[in-house]
Amino acid sequence: MLDFLQRLGRNALLSLGSLGRAGIFLVGSLLGAPRMKGLPLLLKQLYSVGVLSLVIIVVSGLFIGMVLGLQGYNILVDYGSEQAIGQMIALTLVRELGPVVTALLFAGRAGSALTAEIGLMKATEQLSSLEMMGVDPLRQIIAPRLLAGFIAMPMLAMIFSVVGVWGGKMVGVEWLGVYEGSFWSNMQASVDFSDDILNGIIKSIVFGVVCTWIAVFQGYDSVPTSEGISSATTKTVVYSSLAVLGLDFILTAVMFGDF
């Protein structure tokens, strides 16, 4: 019994400790961020986090939009309201699937790479040699990666939604023959800029911060062995996915719930 209590207490202290370290780490690297000298570093990270993630985002957005169009048509046609397909596709993508699926893909594509890269830098003592040379690794290595993730994620989510709507239009209008005019007018009548699109963007910003923060911190805090790096990468993907799905419920409840 006492053993169990002790184990529980130790685990609680450990996770509280790592939460605290993560907080200090985030503040420390962001305070050192805004330097004009760091701009090339930020650009390079934006390239590897943002541009290189574009392909997977565009392809999955296209297919998810097409599946939504197909499924939505099959359900709505029974009620003779297949014109509502545009509104269904747009609302699902903008409110939920855009931010959430992009964040999940982002965690798998970019987050794991960030963790592994920083973990390996730590294992090969590149971080500590930077420190020896008087360069702050938080400012040189961590801050550009964090900022790049914060910027790239909302952009990717918006691109995802646009491509998805286009994919849904291809299936619904070009293939299944829904009238194009009612497709767009139903969509525009039901999607509100501030209530739907801005809330979706806020969601994707939150997810971007959480995913990048988890990824970079897991790499920085990893045990510097090959085993440690592999478990840190796994943790990044698992924690990011769980955090995104959990936060999504809370954000949806706050934004769209009727209280």
The reply on whether position 193 binds another protein by CB under 8 A is yes
Task: Tell me which H or E stretch contains 202.
Answer: helix 199-220
The reply on whether position 51 binds another protein by CB under 8 A is yes
Sorted by sequence, the CB contacts under 8 Å of residue 54 that are 6+ apart come out as 156, 159
Nearer to another protein, 87 or 240 (CB): 87
Spatial separation of the C-alpha atoms in residues 185 and 183, rounded to whole Å: 6
Spatial separation of the C-alpha atoms in residues 200 and 78, rounded to whole Å: 30
Nearer to another protein, 46 or 127 (CB): 46
The reply on whether position 113 binds another protein by CB under 8 A is no
Spatial separation of the C-alpha atoms in residues 99 and 161, rounded to whole Å: 8
CA dihedral 203, 205, 209, 211 (to 10 degrees): 60
Of 7-15, 18-26, 46-54, 234-242, the segment contacting another protein by CB under 8 A is 46-54
Nearer to another protein, 54 or 70 (CB): 54
Nearer to another protein, 162 or 255 (CB): 162
Pick one of 197, 202, 205, 255: the residue that binds another protein (CB under 8 A). Answer: 197
Of 116-124, 147-155, 171-179, 220-228, the segment contacting another protein by CB under 8 A is 147-155
Give the x-and-dash track for 52-81 against another protein (CB under 8 A).
--x---------------------------
Of 25-33, 126-134, 161-169, 232-240, the segment contacting another protein by CB under 8 A is 161-169
Nearest to 106 by CA among 167, 162, 160, 27: 160
Nearer to another protein, 183 or 220 (CB): 183
Sorted by sequence, the CB contacts under 8 Å of residue 38 that are 6+ apart come out as 139, 140, 143, 144
Token digits of residue 229 = 């790096």
Q: Please, are residues 140 and 29 in contact by the beta-carbon 8 Å criterion?
A: no
Sorted by sequence, the CB contacts under 8 Å of residue 104 that are 6+ apart come out as 240, 241, 244
The reply on whether position 237 binds another protein by CB under 8 A is no
Pick one of 111, 119, 144, 154: the residue that binds another protein (CB under 8 A). Answer: 154
Nearest to 19 by CA among 217, 208, 233, 203: 217
Q: How far is the CB of 128 from another protein (least distance, A)?
A: 28
User: Where on the chain is the footprint of another protein (CB under 8 A)?
Assistant: 40, 43-44, 46-47, 50-51, 54, 90, 94, 152, 154-156, 158-159, 161-162, 165, 184, 187-189, 191-193, 195-197, 201
